[in-house]
Chain A
């Protein structure tokens, strides 16, 4: 078994990218994500890779576009305001069907917001963000170990489906240290016959996103959504804790799901039948699994560090059969005690 090492979340992401055989990174400093850049600025040259500190997130994502179009495994990382700047490039990369991994270590917002942990970019990454019809796979890790595992998974999924995969973290996950084990390094290269590598022995490869004839654009969008349907069929991920008999079902993801799990344990100690459903993929959202987990629930609580964004997918998943309430804090990760208090209140009539 691999050695147990103590590592900060952001550095773990950077090291996981190297283990995943990613040799190209383009980024821009922003708190609370900057250690991803710093780690890769040091490590990529050691591995024969290339690190470029771009002049903006707009440029960084377009460097990702060029590197991915040219056949490289590539990643960028930022935090909420920087991810906003990347939305144009994200739309182009999605349309051009290029694999890429984007890390969002979310911070307080809107505007400049703050540097506190946040989950308020759910709508941006899960529902869209850039212009047009496209989807991104969104993975929501809840520990430093999962930052590593999901980063490695992200490269695999991005190439399998030729899509962007977002690592959806937050300021606490990025900044905290936990003991982790790194998986074996990936060394295999994925064949990319479509890449612009110089046309030795073949005709020109063109990577573009312009479809002026209406029928070509329509065909392109239907093609993209056939791919997204395949992702929805195969890639929904979630985990459950004490949901079998749960009368109060809590839904939360990422760092918040760990606190919520502690609150569920407190509730059980107090004789309350609470359970936790944790989406791991936010898109595709694990709707059937959630609906099934809520089969005995009388109340559902969506616990998130936002003003209520995932709650819309929760309501859709359970088809509004059951009252859905929001527990939220802004600018901090809630304590188990305050989530337990929210659970306890639901038992009062």
Chain B
């Protein structure tokens, strides 16, 4: 753990300026990841995980009025302070991204080969011919069937799984140190999902590249991630190793998420657990603990005072006032819950 982290995010805040005022979608996120690690970011829709991941390479710069606060350090450089032209040299080169829906994420009017070569030629001095050869090599690496033929095909001619392999080939073109995968398997069939996950893990081992894996699927996390950050309303509420996540989840929200996983071996008559209530809008966030409105254990302290980050054990931190009492069974669920 003594080596310099690959990515070090400190107190990141992303604000959007809308007609109804400033909305803070990412609210003080801090974490770091080591080279070669696969880190999962988990949370419900709207928890800010996508915005957070796009803030890392400042993809939101081009959207309407956005501002960032804090630091995103990659190899000692704070990405949030870089000029636009310097930032462009990082995107697609040191840090790449793979998105959720592969069909709409590929440009429909250029061939697969052109789109991979574009990344290469943007960051490396390559001739058209060399770029094409490298593109073929990348496609082959993703395990796409008959890669030579794919080079000259258009995205709409490929299946969803093949499209996602192409996206991965584009992302890996310049051998990035960090791959941000934003729900890369959500839009795919279950069998294809497994293949893509396997591919990502394999590439992570082979190339030693760090992967920040954004998902809402805890099953996926258990399969591939070394550690997990659970996000709720723009904040990381609990972070731990994957083993700790399943063995000893401490935050009531994380516990709720785990209990919401449908179990194949459970009692079929038992109702599926759901976390009561809905995610509050970013416009009226609770002022104390973000989860207080839905937490079965919340009291007035939770509703009024934001909990600090507590360290439960090595590598396991969370934001909850009462996690010790809850885990010792000393605190009864009140109010909501099951």
Partners in one complex: no
Q: Which residues of A contact B (CB under 8 A)?
A: none
